[in-house]
Structure 1
Amino acid sequence: MKSKQIAKISIDFAMTILLLFLMARQLTGDSAHEWLGTGMFILWILHHILNVRWHGHLLKGKYTPLRAVHTAVNLLLFLSMAGNVISAVILSREVFAFFPISGGIALARPMHILCAFWGFVLMSLHLGLHWGMILGVFRKASGPISSRRVRTGLRLGGAAAAIYGLYAFIKNQFLSYMFLTSAFVFFDFERPLLLFFTEYIAVMGLFVFLAYYGTKVLQKLTGKRRKATGYEK
């Protein structure tokens, strides 16, 4: 594997871990939350530097349905991350406290909640859209799985995790934060830390599952359409 590819995967993995801790602000505390968020911002910049070619090709080539989905998710994720950074700077009491910003907190607080939860979902979808590539890396390292039973078991395990993720999505009131029907994030301090991370990883798994298999369905539909119109022989 090329060093650039290793760097990309390492940064994406680190961002995923940081994202989970950032969602646990009540557990980490405000100071740690700000520093973790700063780390996420730095990794986000590095991610875009390493993927600069993607930006250069935005207006080039033909847009298939799958490419349109990829682009839409990436652009929305960019907006949510930008909104997170802007609102975080306004709300900051430590890392960015030196900025001469007065006011704006009433708007920044709901904006931060909105962008955080949409960002979590969009980053999970982004991960799912690239899940095939991630699986390919593991296949190269460990070899393909030849047993049909094992493959079926893994798919069923993924489906079960996605179902649990849907339960956790509802239980943790994601929709109320994504559409700002709740002004504050409710946090159950009696819930064990392990359960918190298990539920949020499951929610992430739900959207990875939806994006990964949604991609497969879209590829099949696009392939059938091309054959029907005579583009493929």
Structure 2
Amino acid sequence: MALFALVIGHNVLNRRWYGNVQKGRRDVVRTFNIFTIMCLAIAMLVMLATSLLISRDLFAFMALDGAFAVREIHMFAGYWTVLIIAIHLGTRWMVVMNTVRSTFGFSSPNAARTMALRAAAMAIAIWGVRSSLEMAFVSKLMLTYSLDMWDFNESMVGFFSNYASIVGLYAALVHYGVGLLGAVRAGRRQNRQRGTERYDR
């Protein structure tokens, strides 16, 4: 329910985006981001519907007895939601950084701060690789049965920290992948311009 509250709050804060989705230039990154948001909406709706059917606390009156298949669907949608959130965060990372800069008043670039943030991102990504392997995250995305579940003897903070590092890993991969794609496209555009200039001469 806390996750749904965060999603609702996020949509309220970014409600202007829906009015501008048809405006502007529709490049590859923007189209991919729209597709990601659509997938996230579907995954969240599946999670909401299945959570109402398996809830034993908040919505016990709606729970189904022996709904094993519904639990499997709920968990499957949950793992994909984690991945889609990471992808969405990666495609919008510059927006996040600009918001952080304006919030904390970081108006001028700082080399030391940039290096520290990149080092932190690298550490989170490495932790995310470790967590992905230990928690069999990729197998869970394929709906492969796994014995890895929530160990109630371990710290709850550690459990969520592992998944947070997985989000950080895939967000970093998407962010730098988008940056690499933009650099390649810019290089091709410059090559075409040079070819046109040579042809004109």
Instruction: Report the TM-score range of the alignment, normalised by the length of the smaller protein.
Output: 0.7 to 0.9
- Flag the 1:96–1:135 CA change in 2: closer, same or farther, 3 A: same
Asked if the contact 1:129–1:212 (Cα under 8 Å) also holds between the matched residues in 2, the reply is yes
Contact 2:128/2:168, CA 8 A, preserved across alignment: yes
1:177 corresponds to 2:136: no
In structure 2, C-alpha distance between the alignment counterparts of 1:83 and 1:97, rounded to whole Å: 18
In terms of mean alpha carbon deviation, does 151-160 or 139-148 score higher?
139-148
Alpha-carbon distance, 1:103 to partner: 7.0
**Identity of matched residues, %:** 26
Q: CA RMSD in A?
A: 2.8
Partner of 2:86: 124
Distance 2:108 2:166 in 1: 26
Task: Name 2:101's counterpart in structure 1.
Answer: 139
The Cα offsets for residues 70-108 of structure 1, whole Å up to 9 and x where unpaired, read as 112211111110110111111123433444x75792331
In the other structure, the counterpart of 1:25 is none
User: Normalization by structure 1: what TM-score?
Assistant: 0.69
Counterpart of 2:28, as a letter, is: P
1:158 and 1:209 in contact (8 A); partners too: yes
Corresponding residue number in structure 1 for 2:8: 45
Q: How do residues 42-191 of structure 1 correspond to structure 2 at under 5 angstroms? A: 42-99=5-62, 105-140=67-102, 141-144=104-107, 146-182=109-145, 186-191=149-154
Q: TM-score, normalised by structure 2?
A: 0.79
CA 1:69–1:94 in 2, change beyond 3 Å: closer, same or farther? same
Structure-2 separation of matches of 1:153 and 1:49: 32
1:225/1:123 Cα in 2 relative to 1: closer, same or farther (>3 Å)?
same
CA contact (8 A) 2:29 2:91 kept: no
Report the CA distance shift for 1:183/1:153 in structure 2 as closer, same or farther (over 3 A): closer
Deviates more, 1:116-125 or 1:149-158: 149-158
Query: Within 2, Cα distance between the matches of 1:224 and 1:115?
Result: 39
Following superposition, the deviation at residue 67 of structure 1 comes to 0.9
C-alpha spacing 1:194/1:184, structure 2 compared with 1 (3 Å) = same
Larger radius of gyration: 2
Measure the CA separation in 2 of the matches of 1:44 and 1:201: 16
**Structure 1 residue ranges without an equivalent (≥5):** 1-36
CA 1:104–1:197: 2 relative to 1, 3 Å: closer
Any idea what SS the aligned residue of 1:41 has?
helix
SS at 1:134 equivalent? helix
| Partner deviation per Cα, 1:105-138 (whole Å, 9 max, x = no partner) | 2331111011111101111222222222222233
AA in 1 matched with 2:169: L
Structure 2 CA distance for partners of 1:181 and 1:55, relative to 1, 3 Å: same
- Deviation of 1:203 (Å): 1.3
How far apart are residue 147 of structure 1 and its match? 4.7
**What residue in structure 1 maps to residue 182 of structure 2?**
219
Distance 1:121 1:179 in 2: 12
Name which of structure 1's ranges 216-225 and 79-88 shifts more when overlaid on structure 2.
Answer: 216-225
| CA distance in structure 1 between the partners assigned to 2:80 and 2:61 by the alignment | 28
